[in-house]
Amino acid sequence: MPHPSSGRPPFRSAAALASAGILSASLGCSPALAQTQSARTAASQTLSPITVTGDTAAGALAPTEGYTATSSLSASKTDTPLIETPQSVTVITADQIRDQGAQGLQDALNYAAGVRSDAYGLDSRSDNFNVRGSSPATYLDGLRSHYQYYTSTTRTEPYTLERIEVLRGPASMLYGQGSTAGVVNMVSKRPQADASREIGVQYGTYNRRQMQLDLTGPIDEDGRWLYRVVALERKSGTMVDHVPDDRLVLAPSLTWRPSHRSSLTLMALWQDDRSGSTAQFFPYEGTVLDNPNGRLDTSTFIGDPDWDRYDSRRRSIGWAFEHQFNDQWTLRQNTRWSYNHVDYRSLYGDSFSAPGTWAADPINKRLIGRYAWGSDTTVRMAQADQHLQGKFNTGPVQHDMLVGLEYTYAKHEESTAYESPATVPLLDAYNPVYPRYAPPPFFGSPAMRQRDMGIYLQNQMRWNNWILVAGLRHDRSENTVTGSAGQVSTANSKRFGLLYAFPNGFSPYASYSESFTPELGRDANGTPFVPLKGKQWEAGLKFESPDRNTLANISVYTLREENRLVNDPANPLQSIQAGETRNRGIEIELKTTVAGKLDLIANYTYLDQDEQLEGQPAHQASLWGKYRFAINSMPGFSAGAGVRWADGFRERSGPKVPSVTLVDAMLAYETSRWRLALNANNVFDKTYVATCLERGDCWYGARRSIVASVAYKY
């Protein structure tokens, strides 16, 4: 039996791995020009302190103080205000990531509208989340981080990020192949003109011990050379026995600005992780359904302590180049070469032979069968995205035009090992005693290569208060397995958006966008499958206050995807492309600062989902607030609290997953030099199941995590 993926059904064939988890690392556009520090220093000596919210003059790549970022790169590949973007975008800043104590990308998305952040509970192998009911494409600095999700991915370290941008809905016009969910684009920390040095330590639940540093500033007096070094080392356990969460990260970067019109930023990443699989693939009976032995403990490990692992090595290097020919035309090029190696071995529960039950022990329901799966995977990836941006007028119409070419090459090499429950020793899941286990041998698979090339044209046009966005892209994607003929898919993707920017800060908009996803394989007649095609219609209303302290957005959308694979009625062993799915939803999001002391984030999501798709809650809501205060005339204190709620749901014939309410909290004290903080996620230690899949397995959500941290700036 094929191995389950991270919450997805098993792969249909070896050929389907041609798009499997291809990883990348960090690179992006160049930062904006530096500002001098002397003027700000002088002003601070005569003016009262002020709280700055929103982006600095450097725009969407610069650090943002507070939670309210007002511009984004992801929705247009240009630095565009959110209030002028006719599509839903959420920006999570570094301050929000820090205040909410995010330990991974999933945690950082806990308070984003339209996002199911713990789609498959706690999974130490990869970050799994859904947007508008589907899995989005994940990007780092505007370049794809990997294809699909499985054994060739490495979790991104949040401490290396400046922000996370969630573009909801199809985005193939700008980014090529991807799902209807859209894009989650992570933005790495880059060199800054103002010197800043921080070192910190953490200690927390599961014996979490972490040291980190972030150093940046100019190298020379003229500020032509800037540097940044982000580093981190962690030793930690997880809520599951015998599964570590150890990490070593080094992310250096260097910016050269030979003139005020040119810049080149070199970025590298070196990351080593040592972990395992917190996903045990437990059956329904013992998680959401009754078991005479009670509920399975969240700490239960049913693998083999000596064999199980998920160890990865991640390396990348690249550059971001920008040159302004004049005030109208700018050329940019982002490139990255990356290498990722994953050594994955796991004994996981057999919840599939008789879905959701204890097939090996149907009477006592204690002994569980186990599959053995091993994968030794190496992925090499090279990417380049270059575009020319032109700003010009034709009569009363202002144009912001983008012409670009993007290319990606990936090579995926893998050897695998497999053993069925028939030959793997049974284990008492309620009292694990690990028998001696002889693992299966590894066998190599043919190498897989993927080549993607896309050409795109976009124009953002403004006439008075009207803004029209129109774009077109052509993509060619080729998947090749060594020894077999390649499969080529082509697609044309469109995008249109219309927005009216009222002077009072309100902006109603409507938009249309498309996506495509190559489908590997052939039907019974030998005809290659065509790509899945997605379409979205969205309408909404945005608001930005005059002081830029408040951002709000309400949107409604309809998503359709066609050419989905379904069983061939004439031949059950074959598939045909006849399926179509539909999602509809409403999203409400608010970020605001009240009286300079209270930061608030509020979200509500409603999803009316096609029953053919993986189960998702119909309703979700979250609220986070942070209040700054003084004690005995001593400023610098802050307290934060948040609540997250998800409605109960089921996936087709699977059991109902109960609704859940989780509470998070934070307490901090901060001066110009020191920051001391205590974060607690899932404060009341709620034991909950994040999802149960129709195939028979359930996934636990993260238990309570408490982390104390100390940081010093100098």
Please write the tens of the pLDDT for every residue from 30-75: 333 333 343 334 333 433 343 444 443 357 888 999 999 999 999 9
Does residue 19 carry a pLDDT above 90? Answer: no
Q: Which residue has the tokens 């050409």?
A: 455
- H or E segment and range at residue 94: helix 94-99
Confidence of residue 28 (pLDDT cuts 50, 70, 90): very low
In angstroms, the first-to-last Cα distance of the chain is 56
* 255 close to 225: Cβ distance less than 8 angstroms: yes
Model pLDDT for residues 699-713, shown as the tens digit of each residue: 999 999 999 999 999
Q: Which residue has the tokens 């379409």?
A: 535
What value does the mean pLDDT take over residues 167-179? 95
Distance CA 26, CA 10 (A): 30
Rounded-to-10 torsion of CA 355, 357, 363, 367: 110
47 or 543: which leads in pLDDT: 543
Q: What 3-state class would DSSP assign to 489? A: strand
What value does the mean pLDDT take over residues 365-392? 97
* 195 close to 227: Cβ distance less than 8 angstroms: no
* 692 close to 654: Cβ distance less than 8 angstroms: yes
Does residue 227 carry a pLDDT above 60? Answer: yes
Angle at 605 between CA 502 and CA 653, to 5 degrees: 150
Q: What 3-state class would DSSP assign to 375? A: strand
Residues 6+ apart with CB under 8 A from 44: none
Least confident of 491-505, 507-521, 561-575: 561-575
Q: Which residue has the tokens 């005569």?
A: 46
Distance CA 357, CA 368 (A): 9
Token duo for residue 699? 């996934």
Residues 6+ apart with CB under 8 A from 526: none
Does residue 425 carry a pLDDT above 70? Answer: yes
Confidence of residue 150 (pLDDT cuts 50, 70, 90): low
* Pairing mode, strands 309-324 and 367-368: unpaired
What value does the mean pLDDT take over residues 190-211? 97
What value does the mean pLDDT take over residues 143-150? 78
Does residue 676 carry a pLDDT above 70? Answer: yes
Nearest to 580 by CA among 568, 597, 566: 566
Tally of residues, the chain: 714
Q: Given this model, what pLDDT does residue 41 score? A: 40
Does residue 200 carry a pLDDT above 90? Answer: yes
What value does the mean pLDDT take over residues 85-107? 97
The percent of residues in the chain predicted with pLDDT above 70, rounded, is 91
Torsion angles phi and psi, residue 96, rounded to 5: -65, -45
Distance CA 262, CA 157 (A): 30
How far does CA 475 lie from the centroid of its chain?
23
Strands (E), 518-549: 532-544
Confidence of residue 529 (pLDDT cuts 50, 70, 90): confident
Confidence of residue 29 (pLDDT cuts 50, 70, 90): very low
Does residue 22 carry a pLDDT above 50? Answer: no
Q: Given this model, what pLDDT does residue 648 score? A: 97
Distance CA 648, CA 669 (A): 38
Does residue 265 carry a pLDDT above 80? Answer: yes
562 or 32: which leads in pLDDT: 562
Torsion angles phi and psi, residue 106, rounded to 5: -60, -45
Residues 6+ apart with CB under 8 A from 702: 118, 121, 122, 239, 681, 682
Token duo for residue 604? 């509500």
What value does the mean pLDDT take over residues 216-234? 97
* 213 close to 196: Cβ distance less than 8 angstroms: no
Distance CA 276, CA 161 (A): 24
Confidence of residue 483 (pLDDT cuts 50, 70, 90): confident
Q: Given this model, what pLDDT does residue 12 score? A: 31
* 264 close to 30: Cβ distance less than 8 angstroms: yes
Q: Given this model, what pLDDT does residue 579 score? A: 82
Does residue 1 carry a pLDDT above 90? Answer: no
442 or 59: which leads in pLDDT: 442
Q: Given this model, what pLDDT does residue 573 score? A: 67
Q: What is the mean pLDDT of the chain?
A: 90
Q: Given this model, what pLDDT does residue 149 score? A: 64
Q: CA-based Rg of the chain, rounded to a whole angstrom?
A: 25
Distance CA 83, CA 542 (A): 6
Confidence of residue 4 (pLDDT cuts 50, 70, 90): very low
